[in-house]
Amino acid sequence: MTKKQEIIKMGHPTLRKVARELSDSEIQSKEIDELVKSMIKSMRDVGGIGLAAPQVNVSLKLAIIEIDEQDRYDTDIDYGLQVFYNPEITPLTDETQAFWEGCLSVPGLRGLVSRPNKIKVTYKTRDLEVREIIAEGFLATVFQHEFDHLIGKLYIDRISDLQNLGYEDELQKLED
């Protein structure tokens, strides 16, 4: 049975470290397969759309993303489960867009973050294929948020005006 991993929160030093790349043999190892399985379980248990290995206190360049159509993110993207080994991001434009972001490692808060609205993601699959994805809009933000965890960044570092950081329940009241 796969155990779920505890998700660490802001203040834990691992969240601020630059994660290490995985070697090809590590990518295909049983240990990493187990880690990925437990990350999937942890993410699904709390209804997250992404989880990076540093969030379960493992400083490796690995993240998972799974987006179901979800009202709370006001998006119609349905993006099945994907595992990204050693992902890299290249912005493809200077144009930015702002979305309200939240993070499992910063529970209860939301912040408005501007990021490039078109990016290229390069990563390895478990079969060691190098793949590229061009992402725009909300998906571009999701990738940037998740992969920031691999370089020791949290979304709150990217908020230009801290007035745009607040508790989810208060922000929700404003919306209603």
Following CA atoms 77, 82, 85, 87 in sequence, which dihedral angle do they give, to the nearest 10 degrees?
-10
Strands (E), the chain: 50-52, 62-67, 79-91, 96-101, 109-116, 118-124, 130-136, 165-167
Residue 103 or 121 having the CB closest to Ni ion:
103
Q: What is the spatial distance between Cα 89 and Cα 140, in angstroms, rounded to a whole number?
A: 10
**Could you tell me if 151 and 17 are in contact, meaning their C-beta atoms sit under 8 angstroms apart?**
no
Residue 35 or 103 having the CB closest to Ni ion:
103
Shortest distance, position 25 Cβ to Ni ion, whole Å: 28
Residue 32 or 103 having the CB closest to Ni ion:
103
Active site residue 170: no
List alpha helices for 79-151, DSSP H: 137-148
Shortest distance, position 99 Cβ to Ni ion, whole Å: 13
Shortest distance, position 3 Cβ to Ni ion, whole Å: 21
* Active-site residue, selected from the candidate residues 21, 95, 136, 146: 146
The burial class, CB within 10 Å (0-12 / 13-18 / 19+), for 114 is middle
Kindly state whether residue 51 participates in binding Ni ion, applying the rule CB under 5 A.
no
Residue 54 or 116 having the CB closest to Ni ion:
54
Which of positions 97-116 make contact with Ni ion (CB under 5 A)? 103
Which of positions 105-164 make contact with Ni ion (CB under 5 A)? none
Shortest distance, position 142 Cβ to Ni ion, whole Å: 10
Tokens of 79: 């993006």
Q: Report the interface residues with Ni ion, using CB under 5 A.
A: 103
Catalytic residues: 146
